[in-house]
Amino acid sequence: MKSIKRNILILVLALMTYVLASCGVNAEQVSNTSQDTSNTSDKNSGLIVYFLDVGQADCTLIQLPNGEEVLIDAGNYGDGSYIKNYLENLNVDDIEYLILTHPHEDHIGSAKEIINNFTVEKIYMPDVLASSNLYESTMLAIENKDIETIFAKPGLKIINSPDLKLELLSPKSMYYSELNEYSAVARLEYDNTSFLFTGDAESVSELEMLGGGFNLDSDVLKVGHHGGRTSSSIDFLKAVTPEYSIISCGEDNSYGHPHIETLNRLSDIGSEVYRTDELGTIVAVSDGQDIFITSDEIIEIPLSTPGNSDTQSVPGTEVKEPSAISETNYVGNNNSLVFHKPDCSSVADMKESNKIFFTIRQTAIDQGYTPCGRCNP
């Protein structure tokens, strides 16, 4: 899971070049990026978001179309070498904006190593103290590097240009009973596409954001608290209405993340769920109009161009519309609670009213379905 996805990144950038060219952007602006994993520092090269596979932790790298980088959180203590190597393979040498959502170990774990190995221009973090050696050593590293540190608060605009905006939506209060609620939540807009990064914000913070008058509607949601049930309240999700939801969690983690309650709520709003414990590092690419999702396990990239709604194909790659995927991966019987491959004979005999479709195998298992003993899905 923790090797750099070189072949996937090359494919993503090749596809992005195609899409940008179709939308009227000069392909030469991005064609060079496929030569060395993904040197996306050229301006107008699109937006790429990497949800890194750091196990039961969070770390998200954003390469902005203006050539700047944003890093949100820094994984667990011990993830530093992996994160450092990943960034270096992407030719990242400086980080304009480092957002440390809150001082839990699974979010600031390797921040010290990042600070000591990259030029970090600004750090955004909540105004809250933590009684841990890790927090103290992180703050000392920030002080030693003399990095400008800005306390997160609602309405703080980190970037505010006509087609690119990055704004913090929380925390609002000075005191919460849970450290998770202090999470700095960030919303990113690139032209007509949008992303919401929620850290470990739970229902109290979500309620404050709902009442804060913010535009929460986003195409991609970085699901709060690794998919824990105390985050992603239904009212919050209805306000965000994400087409895609990304969950960062560790395989077979002791917390049981993501919780079935969260998965059910995401299913209720019709959001496609992608998980790092199942798919490894997940990459989202935006050309400002469309968002394409890929990883080392999936290639699900709808290529739409102005005036052409057909799905485009890349030689050797099956490319499907997300809406069609849920009809072809796994079919469950909500009466027997068994799921099957689509071509299983049991599916042909199944009543339409009993059919339920799953994109990912683990999602079926998480919802209480067992695999068919005949087709072994």
DSSP assignment of 6-68 equals HHHHHHHHHHHHHHHHHTT--THHHHGGGGSS----STTS-EEEEE---SSS--EEEE-TTS-
CB burial readout 248-268, b (16+ within 10 A) else e: bbbeeeeeebbbeebbebbbe
Quick check: 171 and 184 in contact, CB under 8 A?
A: yes
The stretch 108-126 carries a mean pLDDT of 98
pLDDT over 50 at 320, yes or no = no
* Dihedral sign from CA coordinates of 365, 370, 376, 377: negative
pLDDT over 60 at 101, yes or no = yes
pLDDT over 70 at 323, yes or no = no
What are the pLDDT digits (tens) for 177-215? 999 999 999 999 999 999 999 999 999 999 999 999 999
What pLDDT shows up at residue 122? 98
Among the listed residues 301, 218, 231, the one whose alpha carbon sits nearest the alpha carbon of residue 16: 301
Topology at the third CATH level for domain 6-300: Metallo-beta-lactamase; Chain A (3.60.15)
The stretch 235-252 carries a mean pLDDT of 97
The CA-CA-CA angle for residues 273, 274, 279, to 5°, reads 155
Quick check: 366 and 328 in contact, CB under 8 A?
A: no
What pLDDT shows up at residue 9? 46
Mean pLDDT of the chain: 82
Residue 298: which pLDDT band, with cuts at 50, 70 and 90? Answer: low
Helix (H) / strand (E) element for 87: namely: helix 80-89
Among the listed residues 295, 273, 251, the one whose alpha carbon sits nearest the alpha carbon of residue 57: 251
CA distances from 59 to 106, 114, 243, 325 (A): 9, 11, 21, 27
Give domain limits for the chain: 6-300, 326-371
Q: Where is average pLDDT lowest: 292-301, 333-342, 346-355?
A: 292-301
Rounding to the nearest 10 degrees, give the CA dihedral for residues 84, 224, 165, 283.
50
**Its pTM surpasses 0.85:** no
pLDDT over 50 at 5, yes or no = no
Residue 338: which pLDDT band, with cuts at 50, 70 and 90? Answer: confident
What are the pLDDT digits (tens) for 19-54? 444 444 333 333 333 323 333 334 446 999 999 999
Q: Given phi > 0 = left and psi -120 to 50 = alpha, else beta, which region is 296? A: alpha
DSSP-derived 3-state class of residue 322: helix
The stretch 311-325 carries a mean pLDDT of 31
pLDDT over 60 at 78, yes or no = yes
- List for the chain the helix, strand, coil content (%; round to 5): 30, 25, 45
Q: How far apart are CA 273 and CA 232, in angstroms?
A: 13
